[in-house]
């Protein structure tokens, strides 16, 4: 490399560092100007400068406090001064931000898309930024991962201070990688994230927003949708309501349900059973009811084990979530599977008992695994019951709304019937759609290359 080339690179590094410091000052100034203390102080000073305003000062202060409160809970759009953030030339890179939900749903959808984007464009740099604790899973796919602990992991941290940490961290990742595309998958967008992407030029911003929301789901901040250029709606068992996105003038695209593994990626029945230590001729039941972070699944699993243990020649494999607590079930007929993705072993199982999350539901249908579904009704936004009922209406799965021992016994007896399982498989085949991960990957690659 010539001396002049080296000098140019040094100059570029110096400029990048200068811009990074400048952008940090912009972010800090924006936070100060949007704070309640600054707004109240400014109003008091302005009233002192113009004494007639002192007569209505108490009412002004109350109005400002009320207005600020509406902004904090997302009922009113933030009224922040706009600062154009200076960007260097963007690179062939995408930053993906899956939130940490009650399970792996957001993370898995974006990984499914990322895998196929990389296959179609090996030179593409893919970067994950997330609160998920399982970023090590990205290494085998050649994907860089940055993790920020979730707000509840910090001691005595307010939402405002945590969002400031998120904004600083994500801004550093943007400065290092200079992406052309930002993809978010989550139910509730963080303010720190929205501030980071707000004024970035030459950056396509996409929200992968799976539907099937509960009618009384937590409302997102009012201005959230304004920060994105596109909404991608993965199809579900029921139709999504996109009226709000259309109202904001956003481009809404649909893709088929997003699945991490295609059928060809599953290991064969023989290899799967060898890896799991299962003998030939065994009848194997897979149980996976989620991470158990927001609902008590131990009692339901214990009842399932008790019912199945009363049967002969049945082996139980319990899927233990990598983001959940360790399970302590015991028994000569069962074992714990803590891996990712567990769907790679589906060929080893005769039927499954699952929750009604997006991934689990669409995986068992896509891979034709007869299942009993026990929807988690304690999720904040995801309507698992509505999702599961759509397949139950086609006799493709068995749904248990009240998982007491009597209902579990009846459902398990049905699933043990080979004729019932055959009928479920036939019904499932009518519901299977092509994997939407490839559709989304094509769309995202086009956004980067345009």
Question: What is the residue extent of each domain of the chain?
Answer: 33-79, 93-258+435-449, 263-429
Mean pLDDT value of segment 168-197: 91
Interval 116-126: pLDDT, tens: 999 999 999 99
- Separation between Cα atoms, residue 304 and residue 106, nearest integer Å: 28
pLDDT of residue 6: 46
The angle subtended at Cα 128 by Cα 124 and Cα 131, nearest 5°, is 175
Query: pLDDT higher for 334 or 83?
Result: 334
Region 401-420: what's the mean pLDDT? 95
pLDDT at 73: 57
The three-state secondary structure class of 442 is helix
Per-residue b or e along 167-183, where b marks 16 or more CB atoms closer than 10 Å to that residue's CB: bebbbebbbebbbbbbb
In 3D space, the residue among 219, 277, 222 whose CA is nearest the CA of residue 247 turns out to be 222
Q: Quick check: 24 pLDDT over 50? A: yes
pLDDT digits (tens, 9 = 90+) for 254-273: 899 999 999 999 999 999 99
Instruction: Give the per-residue pLDDT at 7.
Output: 44
Give the integer Cα–Cα distance in Å for 258 and 263.
13
Mean pLDDT computed over every residue of the chain: 83
Decide if pLDDT at 330 tops 90. no
Per-residue pLDDT band for 18 (boundaries 50, 70, 90) equals very low
Res. 333: pLDDT tops 70: yes
Q: Which residue has better confidence, 244 or 226?
A: 226
CATH number of this structure's domain 263-429:
3.40.50.2000
Q: What percent of the chain has pLDDT over 90?
A: 48
- Token duo for residue 124: 């593409």
Asked whether the predicted pLDDT for residue 11 surpasses 60, the reply is: no
Higher per-residue pLDDT: 86 or 315: 315
> Does 93-258+435-449 match 263-429 in CATH topology?
yes
CATH of range 93-258+435-449; options 3.40.50.2000, 3.30.420.40, 3.20.20.70, 3.40.50.720? 3.40.50.2000
Q: Is residue 86 a contact partner of residue 233, using CB atoms and an 8 Å limit? A: no
Residue 234 phi/psi, 5-degree rounding, is -65, 130
């Amino acid at each position: 490399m010539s001396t002049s080339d080296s000098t140019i690179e040094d100059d570029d590094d110096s400029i990048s560092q200068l811009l990074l410091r400048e952008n940090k000052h912009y972010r800090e100034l924006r936070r100060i100007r949007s704070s309640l203390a600054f707004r109240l102080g400014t109003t008091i000073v302005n009233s002192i400068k113009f004494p007639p305003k002192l007569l209505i000062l108490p009412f002004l202060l109350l109005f400002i406090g009320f207005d600020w409160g509406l902004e904090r809970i997302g009922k009113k759009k933030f009224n922040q001064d706009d600062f154009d953030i200076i960007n260097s030339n963007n690179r062939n890179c995408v930053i993906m931000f899956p939130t940490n939900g009650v399970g792996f749903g957001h993370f898995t959808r974006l990984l499914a898309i990322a895998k196929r984007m990389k296959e179609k464009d090996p030179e593409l740099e893919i970067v994950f930024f997330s609160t998920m604790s399982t970023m090590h899973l990205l290494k085998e796919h050649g994907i860089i991962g940055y993790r920020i602990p979730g707000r509840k992991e910090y001691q005595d941290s307010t939402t405002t201070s945590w969002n400031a940490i998120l904004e600083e961290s994500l801004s550093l990742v943007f400065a290092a990688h200079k992406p052309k595309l930002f993809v978010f998958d989550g139910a509730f967008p963080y303010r720190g994230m929205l501030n980071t992407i707000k004024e970035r030029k030459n950056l396509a911003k996409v929200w992968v927003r799976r539907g099937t929301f509960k009618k009384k789901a937590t409302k997102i901040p009012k201005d959230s949708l304004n920060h994105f250029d596109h909404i991608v709606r993965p199809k579900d068992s029921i139709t999504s309501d996109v009226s709000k996105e259309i109202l904001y003038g956003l481009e809404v695209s649909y893709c088929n349900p997003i699945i991490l593994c295609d059928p060809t990626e599953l290991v064969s029945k023989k290899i799967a059973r060898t890896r799991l230590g299962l003998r030939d001729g065994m009848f194997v039941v897979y149980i996976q009811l989620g991470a158990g972070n927001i609902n008590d699944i131990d009692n339901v699993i214990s009842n399932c084990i008790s019912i199945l243990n009363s049967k002969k020649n049945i082996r139980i494999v319990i899927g233990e979530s990598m983001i959940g607590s360790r399970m302590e079930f015991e028994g000569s007929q069962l074992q714990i599977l803590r891996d990712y993705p567990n769907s790679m072993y589906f060929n080893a199982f005769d039927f499954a008992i699952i929750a009604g999350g997006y991934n689990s539901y669409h995986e068992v249908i896509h891979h034709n695994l007869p299942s009993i579904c026990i929807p988690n009704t304690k999720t904040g936004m995801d309507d698992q019951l509505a999702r599961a009922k759509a397949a139950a209406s086609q006799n493709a799965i068995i749904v248990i709304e009240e998982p007491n021992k009597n209902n579990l016994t009846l459902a398990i007896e049905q699933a043990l019937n080979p004729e019932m399982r055959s009928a479920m498989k036939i019904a499932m085949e009518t519901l299977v759609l092509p994997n939407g991960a490839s559709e989304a990957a094509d769309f995202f690659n086009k956004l980067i290359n345009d």
